[in-house]
Amino acid sequence: MNIEQVLFGAFAFLTLLSAALVIFAKSPVSAAMALVSTFFFLAGIYVLLWAHTVAALQVLVYAGAIMVLFLFVIMLLNLGEEAPGPRLTLGRIAGGAAATGLLVVLSMAIAKVPNRVTTLSESAAHEFGTMKTIGTAIFTQWLLPFEAVSLLLLVAMVGAVVVAKSRI
């Protein structure tokens, strides 16, 4: 057992713990802060998997920008007070059943994955996951979906400002 395996186990445990805190937090602000810690622990796992670009994007985009928007919406809607106690509703039962079914299907899919290890060539390993290769893929092969998502986010931001302005 080496240090990478120990760190991976620690990051995985802390990711699951903070994700559970997101689910069981009493206030939305506490849930959002637990989600930030989940994003940081995931970034640590990405670093251990040599996906440094994905780790940096995880911290910058999700832990930074997206969580600022989440907190803005929580504060705008005045969701700071604690939620009422847990109630067993049909929606929660259906959600729990769906989550359990997803866990079973995911476990079956993971069990079918072969146990062989593949390695990249030396030249491919140096180019894999770099900003140059990601940028080339985004701006050549995936340009239309990239621009569509950009437009969708712009429309969502304008809509959020319009809705918030009518309330203020």
The pairs formed by 51-55 with CB atoms below 8 angstroms and a separation of 24 or more are 51/129, 52/129, 53/129, 53/130, 53/131, 53/134, 54/129
Closest CA to 86 of 95, 75, 98, 78: 95
- The first and second tokens of residue 39, run together, are 């994003």
CA distance 53 to 121: 20
Looking at residue 75, its pLDDT comes to 74
The per-residue pLDDT for range 16-57, each reduced to its tens digit, is 999 999 999 888 888 888 999 999 999 999 999 888 888 888
State yes or no: pLDDT of 165 exceeds 80.
no
Predicted pLDDT at 166: 65
Helices (H), 25-89: 28-48, 52-57, 67-76
**This model's pTM is above 0.85:** no
63 within 8 A of 40, measured Cβ to Cβ: yes
Quote the pLDDT of residue 40.
93
State the Cα angle at 49 between 121 and 131, rounded to 5°.
70
pLDDT per residue as tens digits for the range 85-102: 667 888 889 988 999 999
Tokens of 160: 């959020």
Least Cα distance to 26 among 94, 100, 80, 92 occurs for 80
Q: What per-residue confidence (pLDDT) applies to 45? A: 94
